[in-house]
Amino acid sequence: MHDEKHIINNNMAYGLLQVGAASYVDTGVGEEQPYEPISYGQGGTLTVTLYAPSANLDAIARFDLRDMASSSLSIVSVGNPFDVVAVQGSDDHDWGDPIAGFSLRPEVGDPPAVIMIDYTGADLTGFNEDQLSLYRLNGSNWEQADRTCGVDSLGMPVCALQRFLSDHLLAVPICRAGTFVLSDETPTEIWRIFLPLVLKKAP
């Protein structure tokens, strides 16, 4: 994996202030380094780390973690929603457009990618830690992120999330890129109603 600090531009959401990380994984190191970590922090207390399985990729892929705090997405969550964005290409040949729903586990039996979220008690005000899950936006609906790797005959995720409550740590297998949010229940969007301002001319 190559660190792309030379392209950091916080105004363009490529640095720690907005995206957190922009890195790419070289398939040639897959055997020596099965997982490549890409990490960024939210507000100094919550850290998101993507472990991308380089051995699963058939071409060099770039992964961006993009903080969605400034987006139009308005939901109640632990920390900010964030995107896992994948593109393929190279520095010598232009990077392509982001690949919607990029598969991180293209073949059955391949290891999934993993998102690790490290948080503190201060991040959980109003939330039940025992029920924390990572959710992925699927169309207009939110689904538990570990279900992107498939479910068994009982409808349970094949690769289930792990909660390490004493360490304030959540490990979630994922198999597709997309938009994610941490919450203790299925997220619902908050609708904002703007009332018109009426000015009356004084008599």
pLDDT at 18 over 70: no
Average pLDDT for the chain: 76
For the chain, give every domain's residue range. Answer: 2-183
d(CA 172, CA 143): 13
pLDDT at 30 over 50: no
Task: Name the band, by pLDDT with cuts 50, 70 and 90, for residue 20.
Answer: very low
What is the per-residue pLDDT across 154-199, written as a single tens digit (0 to 9) for each?
A: 989 988 899 999 999 999 999 999 999 999 998 876 544 445 665 6
Using alpha carbons, select from 61, 185, 166, 65 the residue that is nearest to residue 115.
65
CATH architecture of 2-183: Sandwich (2.60)
pTM for the model stands at 0.75
